[in-house]
Amino acid sequence: MADTALLSYLISVAAALSGYPELPLAEMPMLRQMSATSLVDEACPDNPAECRTLVALYDRARNQILIRAELDLENPADNSFLVHEFVHVLEARHKGELYQHDCANTLLSERQAYRVQNAYLKQEGRSERFGSMLSNMVCAPGQTAGGPTVRLEMSPGGLDDERAFEKFMQEFSEGRAAAHGR
């Protein structure tokens, strides 16, 4: 388990980078470290395949943060997932019932939490970045506010943008991209 000094630091980082008011450690949800299998079983009992890559989760209903036990919380790449979840906690406290009340707000919330997580990693001198696929995602049609699930799909231009970027990177690595820019 991470020590209180580290947790307090990560909360302050989440607050500073997100702009949400900081909460004292005593007011933060319980932190539960568990095996990857237990995390998936608890977070997605009805559809475990949907959560197979889950590393951490803020469970607002039960006021807890679930995180994989195998993470080394002294390592910024691993503890960045706590920063991400702390952003959700701070946002939920700030927004109340408006927190993730529909797909669009949930998507915005996740994008913000990943931006903060990545800013923290950059601040720590780390090269890892997470959540990049969310920039190409949109809410699937037909979802109602307050619905039990969030369904995302690739934005109409997302795949085209991704393919164009991959083609550019291939050409760049072959030395042909510079010729196209002239």
Assigned domain for 96 exists: yes
- Surface-to-core class of residue 34, CB atoms within 10 Å of its CB (0-12 exposed, 13-18 middle, 19+ buried): middle
Assigned domain for 44 exists: yes
The pLDDT value given to residue 26: 94
Assigned domain for 156 exists: no
**Residues in a beta bridge with 31:** 65
100 vs 73: CA distance, rounded Å: 27
What's the one-letter identity of residue 169?
A: M
Assigned domain for 99 exists: yes
Assigned domain for 75 exists: yes
pLDDT band at 182 (very low <50, low <70, confident <90, very high): very low
DSSP labels, 56-125: EEEETTTTEEEEETTS-TTSHHHHHHHHHHHHHHHHHHHHGGGTT-SHHHHHHHHHHHHHHHHHHHHHTT
What average pLDDT does range 149-158 have in this prediction?
72
* Domains held by the chain: number: 1
Angle between helices 4-18 and 76-95 in degrees, nearest 10:
60
Q: What is the CATH number of the domain that holds 70?
A: 1.10.10
Domain containing 122: what range?
4-132
Assigned domain for 168 exists: no
Look up residue 144 and give its two tokens: 């109602």
pTM: 0.81
Chain segment 122-134, per-residue pLDDT in tens: 999 999 999 988 8
What percent of the chain shows pLDDT beyond 70? Answer: 81
Assigned domain for 58 exists: yes
Assigned domain for 155 exists: no
